[in-house]
Amino acid sequence: MNTPIETPDVRLATRASPMALEQTGRFAELFRRCHPDLVLDVVEVVSEGDRHVGPLSRIGGKGAFTRTADRRLLAGEVDMAIACAKDVPGPHDREPGIAVGAVLPREDVRDVLVLPAGHPPATLADLPRGSRVGTSAPRRAALLKALYPALLPVPIRGNADSRLARLDSGALGVDAMIAALAGLGRLGLTGRVSEVLDPARWLPASGAGIVVIEHRGDDKATRDLLAPLTDAPTHALLDAERAALAALGGGCLTAASVHASLDPRTALLTVRAAVLDPGGAGALRATASGAADRAADLGREAGERLLRDGAARWLDGRP
């Protein structure tokens, strides 16, 4: 007697990196608990960003990590796609037709310093003058130049696990690197942290620590499946941060930070936005506060204040 083969009711696209697969596994467990009668099929995709070894700016910036999944989503080959929010381009820099369906609870937003295995613990301030610090993010490079001008930011590429292996072997070409604490946590590698960087000074990435699941904007059935899986407070934070970035219209070279926080006692949402001088000379900052149900409006307000203060001169990555 032949056993019937289950066909998927829902297809979920994900990058194939260890970090992406870990967060996909956690989401898949939530989805199956919420919808036990549905079959969820995880479809691994290799993004342009995973294949390309040079600067992301040459292949369209952050969109390099989402374009392959976007194409499959819009073509109807998959129903959902999962990604780190900080890797998702703003709506002004992306093909239309894709919507955020679920936002998972925010994890740690902080960046950390990672040293080669066996190196004695140290902070950025401890590193010798001229030390090469690896990072692919314009925001991190600008912060490093502003706060630690004796250190040299060096572009690096690759998934977190491969970067760590190359750092330890010396093949990465740097003395240390900056990483996201949430990402190391997903890989079970928080023991590699040498210093947790204070977010009051070392401004966090927009969308840091947030995982999103997207769907086609006209796909009401998938939207309804994802709705009960979203974390409403985190969704408000993400709406504010993405609205500020959209107002700025920044691209892949923009050294910017937008971080929203929500006071659980008062339901007051505060957006802190900054555009950094890529050369490290300083930053323009703006803050907007109000009710959480005005999250997107508050984000736009913060972004527009930065533009009025002259942030446009730094948005293309030039000092």
Catalytically active residues are 87
Of 172, 173, 112, 155, the closest CA to residue 253 belongs to 155
Question: Which tokens is 134 given?
Answer: 């690896």
Count, residues in the chain: 319
Of 120, 85, 118, 288, the closest CA to residue 205 belongs to 85
71 within 8 A of 225, measured Cβ to Cβ: no
Segment (H or E) for 23: helix 18-34
* Phi then psi dihedrals of residue 44, to 5 deg: -85, 135
Q: For residue 9, count CB atoms less than 10 angstroms from its CB and return exposed for 0-12, middle for 13-18, buried for 19 or more.
A: middle
Amino acid of residue 155: P
